[in-house]
Chains A and B, each alone.
Chain A
Amino acid sequence: MRSPADMNTVPFITLLRREWLEHRTALIFPPAAILALVILALIFGTLFSKKISVDLDLEDEASEAPSLQRFRPQARTQFFLADNQYAADEEFRAMPAVATDWNPRGGLHPSAQPAASVPPLGIEIDDEDLDDVSSLQRALAVPYFFVLILVMSFLSVSVTWDERKDRSILFWKSMPVGDTRSILAKFLFLGWITPAATFVAVVITQIIVLLALDFYSDKNLIAWLLTSSEAWVTLFKLLGFTLYIGIWLAPFLAWGMLVGAAAPRSPTLIAMLLPLLLTVTEKVVFDTNVLFDFVVNQLSLEMFAQTFDGDVAAVLPYIGQKLMGVGLAVLFLIAAIWSRRRFSEV
């Protein structure tokens, strides 16, 4: 038996765990699939590319990895020098400054700087490279968050619909857990646990990819990641975005939950078509775009971007919109609680 204080916290954690168990497949498989694709891309890139370059800045500056010759002896490695000149591996190694500071793993040691008499090398470790790592971090996160939004959209309906469809709602209701607590747990799971799981997947992918690049290239990217403030800021921004998603998508998630809790059938279709129908009706009847504008403004990420750029003044115009979104989400959640109480089964 537990004390009343325990009964306030333990069930809520249990409810979140239940949501996780029910929907973990939807949370684990998509990120796992993306990670598998990333790893496959790395492997295929290594095996089939004639000249493998680690293009960290994602622009036009490439740095070749001499260590690749350990794996691909036939690979042609070149070194980017100043004035658009390239040096072959043996020429590069022969350069006086390089010969003394050559890293056994095949790279130029970060501390090594060419002598003044030697033409400046293209492989330089400077602040721009840190930006490159940050770009890579962000680029790796994009597919995850894109898939996350799709997953959240469908989950928002299924968290309240599936239990009605398979009648397990009668079992959940046979336990001393109210509808309000159940709906709030589902919303918390959707809005914060789901993105948090994705964030973990993003971090894992970043580590794997950077480890791979670190292994293949002459750059100690993991050391950079651990010591670079830029890398941590990027990670912090991603975490901020992860937490922001719950507020950003709150009205849409709550809408999906409401439809799942109330619809007699085809909830996904209703959740998508009903707003569309209302938007068209509003346009035809009143010649206004209030609903459409609300959705577009709510989906805008401008507020988030401005917040992280530190431009507080630029954030203010968006606060009203976000508050309206949160308010609408609260209304939808109240309606979802009301519906779950009344419409147990399909």
Chain B
Amino acid sequence: MTSMNVIEAQGLVRRFGAVTALDGFNLTVPSGRIVGLIGPNGSGKTTALRAILGLSRLDGGVLRVADCNPWQDRSRLMQNIAYIPDTGILPRWMRVRDLIDYAEGVHPGFDRTRAERLLSKTSVDPARTIGGLSKGMQVQLHLSLILAINAKLLVLDEPTLGLDVLYREQFYESLLGDFMEGDRSILVTTHEVREIEHVLTDVVFIRKGKSVLAESIDTIREQYLKLTTGATTNVPGGYLSRRTSLAGVEYLYRGVSRGQLEGLGDICIPDLVELFVASMQSEAVTVTEPHKETQHA
């Protein structure tokens, strides 16, 4: 593993009885990047995250996170990782200020002053019990705590699930404004592609426990093209996917120059949703070497 990568996962396998949740899953998260792990429900996102966090053991594969084996060194790993899951996990019986005391007591990288400063920007009252806070406030509190930890990697598992649009917007603003500095990284999972598209630097699509696409956003913009044309037009082969829409037939290409498609129809760069849908529907999408370009950068 290179020290440039905060996560390096090769061929991860996790089985639950007859169900294979991770089936040779690969993932690389370089330092200083925001990587979106995107997949439909039941695709293995949460299982992968749990393995990365040391919450679940693996049946196969090699996994290193922040120079630790997550399953064996979870306690040490958590000094460098922060985590917000899909639903509220903060202890409802605890007062906010007691929670801050706790984090300060057990986490060597926790900055109490920073947490209180971040919290003062919200409407969370430190004297209240967490169970008395709204879901939005609980997420704000959790985010304030997490952002006050000097972590190399922040792992978010559907963090805005159940939040209204306003809170979602604030959440990602805080994340980008207060967390992303230096070589810190974020790994975020969601099935709401549009919600995180604008914050990502890299994307990994997961389907049936396998990573089916791993690219940087820059590569997607440079390498992928969408051609929309009439149904009878002859188009070059080698497309990743083909689907019919109201506008005509859409072909998705990777590594094809704009000149090759010129004159055949409308050409544009596909957005993440289109790429995601193509990846989920087609068996033909190439599994690329994860973040090859980034690693060489």
Residues of chain A whose beta carbon lies under 8 Å from any beta carbon of chain B: 1-2, 7, 10-11, 13-15, 17-18, 21-22, 163, 166-171, 173-178, 181, 342, 344
Report the minimal beta-carbon distance from B278 to chain A, rounded to whole angstroms. 34
Q: Please name 11 pairs of A and B residues whose Cβ atoms are closer than 8 Å in the assembled complex, sorted by A.
A: A11-B105, A14-B105, A18-B102, A21-B98, A168-B92, A171-B90, A174-B82, A175-B78, A175-B102, A177-B75, A177-B78
Report the minimal beta-carbon distance from A176 to chain B, rounded to whole angstroms. 4
With CB as the reference atom, state the residue of chain A lying closest to B71.
A341
Q: Contact partner of B107 among A21, A168, A175, CB < 8 A? A: A175
Chain B CB count within 10 A is highest, among A15, A21, A178, A342, for A21
Main secondary structure of the interface of B (DSSP, over half): loop
State in angstroms the CA–CA spacing of A173 and B89 once bound together: 11
Neighbouring A residues of B53 by C-beta, 8 Å: 173-174
Interface size on B, residues (CB 8 A): 30
With CB as the reference atom, state the residue of chain A lying closest to B131.
A166
Residues of chain B whose beta carbon lies under 8 Å from any beta carbon of chain A: 53, 55, 57, 74-79, 81-83, 85, 87-94, 98, 101-103, 105-109
Q: A168-B91, A344-B55 are in contact. Are A174 and B105 (CB under 8 A)?
A: no
Extra contacts besides A1-B109, A17-B101 (17): CB < 8 Å: A1-B108, A2-B108, A10-B106, A17-B102, A167-B88, A170-B83, A171-B90, A174-B53, A174-B81, A174-B83, A175-B106, A176-B107, A176-B108, A177-B78, A178-B74, A178-B75, A344-B55
Q: Contact partner of B101 among A2, A14, A163, A170, CB < 8 A? A: A14
Report the minimal beta-carbon distance from A165 to chain B, rounded to whole angstroms. 11
Main secondary structure of the interface of A (DSSP, over half): helix
Q: A13-B105, A174-B82, A344-B55 are in contact. Are A167 and B87 (CB under 8 A)?
A: yes
Neighbouring B residues of A174 by C-beta, 8 Å: 53, 78, 81-83, 89
State in angstroms the CA–CA spacing of A7 and B79 once bound together: 12
* Docked-complex contact A22 and B91, CB < 8 angstroms: yes
With CB as the reference atom, state the residue of chain B lying closest to A6.
B108
State in angstroms the CA–CA spacing of A312 and B73 once bound together: 46
